Structure 1
Amino acid sequence: MPGPYQQAPGPYQQPQAPGAYAQAPGAYAPAPGPYAQPGAAQYAPAAAPGPYQQAPVPGPYQQPQAQAQPYGGGMPVGGAMQACQLCGAGPAAQVTVRGHQGMLIIMRSLRRRGTMCRPCALATFREMQANTMVQGWWGPMSVVITPITLLINLGALSTIRRIPEPVVAGHRPPLNPGKSVFKRPQGILGLVPLCLVVGVVLLAVVGMAAG
């Protein structure tokens, strides 16, 4: 039974009404937004194309890839292909061929230098080398100068052999290299004084070694 101390609802009872600061359930529940993390195992979301994505655009400072050189054999790189000064064919290279003429009292040193293709350079070398083997011995100093000139021309021959065959036609046909030096009459005749000089040098060396 209800006793005497049962409190009945009176004027001072304050009923709990929802106020301005009442937190309704689910008011601050995190809504899915742009920063929501999908899961613990997925840490690298795919990058979607956005307004700040940098696409490779060719600009004035873009460095083009270097093109492969179509010509080898010691040809100059970085620039236009050189043309032969004699026929205009290419490629060509700088070549220097020397010659010598001994004339008893006086002597004369010759030189042909220029940018030449392989056939023109080879023709120049064979002509100068063959003429030197015949005309270069007839003088006191020429006996020493002629072998030196022949040896120097061997260095020019190695440069000529590194020049590729012409791939660009010129304004005229290139020089005909002709036969090799020792298949020409000048080369065959020049073997006689050359062998004499070599024989004298060998005898001098053997004499100095024996004495």
Structure 2
Amino acid sequence: MDAEEPDRNFAATLVAAKAGDSSAVNELFQLFYPRVKSLVHKSLALDLRNSRPWLTARFSTGDVVQEVFRSVLGDLSSFGGTTEKAFTGYLTMVVRNRIIDAIRFHEADRRDGRRGAAPLPEDEHPSDAAGPVSEVANAEEIDRFHEALAGFPEREQLLLRARFEETASFAELTEQLGYPSESTARRAYFAAQAKLAVQLRSASMGDTAAN
């Protein structure tokens, strides 16, 4: 019975927070802020140190954590679980998405800067000049994907991103996003995936017609 008490207390706090109780929201903040702060710090440190060292100076762990909590605690409607474990998993998804979105924003800014730079003389072009072109093309495909995804309800966005990026199982998503069963979560995923494919195809056809 004692082992169940923390989750029972959490569930009550969650209900109050969803109803707009500011003290309950603050209680959730106090409880989960250290966990998410640690998670963000580790994620940023690993990604930026290994593959994007030029971004290190632009990111603040505290800023990202604050953004996550403004988003999550400001609107808890997409969280369908009732336990601390499920909520921690949900926060993990949102944190990871915020990190990826922030990195994409800064990388897009960097690409735009490269496009506006004066062209190099012919004898000064690097030998792998096709590399950056391919990189930009791939990045633009990813941008189109995220632009289409932004039009989906947040619950579907989280479901699609978690499965595309293989960061959560259907069993975990069932609990975190409040689906009645794992099979229901799977059906929701396949339906959203089909809808996304149609939108991407339409966007691609529109780009082709414009050119």
Question: TM-score under structure 1 normalisation?
Answer: 0.24
- Bigger Rg, which one: 1
Instruction: Specify which structure has the higher proportion of strand.
Output: 1
Normalising by the residue count of structure 2, what TM-score does the alignment of the two structures yield? Answer: 0.24
**Which structure has the highest helix share of the two?**
2
